[in-house]
Amino acid sequence: MHTVAFPNKILPYLLVAPQIILTVVFFFWPASQAIYQSTLREDPFGLKSGFVGLANFSAVLADPNYLSSLQVTVIFSILTALVSMGVALLLATAADRVVRGQTLYRTLLIWPYAVAPAVAGMLWLFMFNPAMGTLAYLLRRNGFGWDPLLNGDQAMALIVVAAAWKQISYNFLFFVAGLQAIPRSLIEAASIDGARGARRFWTIVFPLLAPTTFFLLVVNTVYAFFDTFGIIHAVTGGGPAKATETLVYKVYNDGFVNLNLGSSAAQSVILMIIVIALTAFQFRFVEKRVHYG
């Protein structure tokens, strides 16, 4: 590590100040507020609140609703990550064949691949909208009871697809880059060694993509955990019967709808711990595992 000596003692602090201020205002302050709130409980009329220690936490963790929400979140995250990464990988292998070894001009060809899923996702949502969607109508006419407003599994499928499509473009670009980084001669050696198609993919390409896949897995999980509030709010509102109420959505529901601030704050503190753990996990692993060669 190279150290730089600044002639001026104040300049370095001025340079990092904007970053520090942003972090304090938008992270430390709300975070400390959340921690503070999580130790308080309001009386039923919301007139005064008192210190209750960790009682909010034990209440939350003992709440069957919370545990089922945790389960919903895990299922939702796994499915979202699988769908978005699976589709992205499929598209990326197709694109890799086109762009491999080509110039920048050819690389630009991948942009349609990257944008298409976003458009497709929008259309998908329209088509499956139970009130006005063409496909929803077709499904129902053919005797398939399509009603995500009543059926929890269908609601889950709908938000998984809605959440996954947004990530496909991002994952796609990373997978294409990862595929392009695999030396061509390795693929050629494998083809001489008698490995083709699926076999070559699973024994050579996929293992070499492991660092990319792992990185994307963490990114997608974090996304599904924390960044899908808008989608759930717009598509299912956490229903039917809490079947799509993820942890983040529950924080909102309990805090802003049910006005149970203490419990909501405790839940957000738990979420904060989860995201910190995930990030630390990623840093540890990615630093260890990206080197292959």
* Interaction site with other proteins (CB under 8 A): 183, 185-186, 188-196, 199, 203-204, 207-208, 210, 292-293
Beta bridge partners of 51: 40
- Which residue is associated with the tokens 């198609």? 197
Least separation in angstroms between CB 291 and other proteins: 8
Q: Which is nearer to other proteins, 52 or 182 (CB)?
A: 182
Beta bridge partners of 49: 42
Q: Which is nearer to other proteins, 104 or 192 (CB)?
A: 192
Least separation in angstroms between CB 122 and other proteins: 39
The CA-based angle 176-181-185, given to 5 degrees, is 120
CA distance 79 to 101: 33
Least separation in angstroms between CB 191 and other proteins: 5
Where helices occur in the chain by DSSP H, the ranges are 11-23, 29-38, 55-62, 64-99, 104-107, 110-128, 134-141, 152-181, 184-192, 197-200, 206-208, 210-226, 229-235, 247-252, 261-289
Residues in the chain: 293
Q: Is the dihedral of CA 222, 154, 164, 202 positive or negative?
A: positive
Least separation in angstroms between CB 203 and other proteins: 8
Q: Which is nearer to other proteins, 127 or 190 (CB)?
A: 190
DSSP-assigned letter for residue 186: H
Least separation in angstroms between CB 180 and other proteins: 16
Q: Which is nearer to other proteins, 134 or 193 (CB)?
A: 193
Least separation in angstroms between CB 290 and other proteins: 12
Q: Which is nearer to other proteins, 157 or 190 (CB)?
A: 190
Q: Which amino acid is at 31?
A: A
CA distance 239 to 210: 36
Could you tell me if 129 and 161 are in contact, meaning their C-beta atoms sit under 8 angstroms apart?
A: no
241 exposed, middle or buried (CB, 10 Å; 0-12, 13-18, 19+)?
Answer: exposed
Q: Which is nearer to other proteins, 48 or 291 (CB)?
A: 291
Least separation in angstroms between CB 78 and other proteins: 25
Q: Which is nearer to other proteins, 209 or 251 (CB)?
A: 209
Q: Which is nearer to other proteins, 7 or 293 (CB)?
A: 293
* Nearest alpha-carbon partner for 264 in 76, 51, 57: 57
Least separation in angstroms between CB 108 and other proteins: 20
Beta bridge partners of 40: 51
